[in-house]
Amino acid sequence: MDKRSVVAICVVIAVIAIVSTAINIDHSSKEIKNSDPSRNITDQEGRNITIPTNVTRVAALAGQAYEKLILLNQTDKMAVTISAWTNLPWSSKIAPQLKNIPIENDPNVEDLISKKVQVVFCLSYDGTKDKLNSSDIAVVVTQKNSGNPDNIDSFTKYVKQEIALYGEVMGPDAKETAEEWGAYFDQKVNYVTLRTKNLTDSQRPTVYYARGPDAITTQGKNSYTQFYVEMAGGRYVAKNTDKEGLQSVTMEQLLAWNPDVIFVGRVNSTDIITNDTRLSNIRAVRDKRVYLCPQGVAYWDYGAEGVLLMEYFAKTLHPELFQDLNMTNEVKDYYLRFYHYNLTDDETNRILQHLPPASY
């Protein structure tokens, strides 16, 4: 056999070896991938999402996602979150580990991969879903801006479904806590609505919610605040707005509504209403029925603590029906039950008065 033949045979052997190795590597990688079990869940948009069986690294990119993870005792699994909690000092008071979690309001795919994120919690309208669509990271929508429930029954199911979704993603312990929260929610809803369901329209004060940062920003039809007000025995004046969710109305519309009561949220005082001379003749201002909503680990208008907001609305709108409702006790019980934090009376009163922790 001449030298040229020997070289040809060696080349063939080398090629075969390389191809065989590549096949083995590919086969091994597939085995590794297949060995990572997965499961399917349905998010709040009704999408079927495949997630790992054991979720240990998540990105809490929905505004209130961090609150849900604190609620379910899953804070240690947050690989990244957004800055929403930094405006709510009770969040880091209750869960100090938040201070050690990277904050990224607009993380890119590569960054999330480098942090080994398995699941991203986001809103339907913040752009995150579309941006991550081509990645292997599971994107779970927790709240949507349109197509929301349009009656109290479907709303209560939707709210419980949101908490249950977080529980299902995060695993058995979280799922158990989510179920406990759902039972608690049902109990409080029944407690309030049994007393308000037979009120006539004339017995239900009209209510406007000034969401801040100004007087004309509100949450319109099919919003959480609409249903909490209605369950609490009020008539929500913005229930028939043209669109759902966060929006601005005109000053003329607010004056025409002339609400009996105004609740103010997400700002630190009622000044956006009471210091605006254009609103001085509104019934709520004349009758001094403008109230600053409490604020805790999250904004009460769209967080899990909204169940407490419903009770607060009920106590404020109908004190004669809820003489036995002690909001200090309700808040203390909630924080101990779900956050495992024993609030003092002073701390509880600060939450109810929309004040930060004394040490803040």
Domains along the chain? Answer: 38-149 (3.40.50.1980), 199-352 (3.40.50.1980)
Q: What single-letter DSSP state applies at residue 294?
A: P
Determine the 3-state secondary structure of 38 from DSSP. Answer: strand
Which residue bears the tokens 């808040």? Answer: 331
Distance CA 149, CA 154 (A): 5
User: ω into residue 319 within 30 of 0, thus cis?
Assistant: no
Over pLDDT 90: what percentage of the chain? 81
Give the pLDDT score at 2.
Answer: 52
- What's the pLDDT tens digit per position in 167-185? 999 999 999 999 999 999 9
Instruction: Look up the pTM and report it.
Output: 0.88
pLDDT: which is higher, 100 or 17: 100
Q: Is the model's pLDDT at 16 over the cut of 50?
A: no
Which residue bears the tokens 């699994």? Answer: 77
- φ, ψ (nearest 5 deg) of residue 79: -85, -25
Which residue bears the tokens 């025409």? Answer: 256
Give the pLDDT score at 35.
Answer: 45
Give the pLDDT score at 10.
Answer: 45
**Residues 6+ away with beta carbon under 8 Å from 52:** 36, 37, 38, 39, 118, 119, 138
Q: Which helix (H) or strand (E) holds 274?
A: helix 271-274
Q: Tell me the two tokens of residue 96.
A: 């100090």
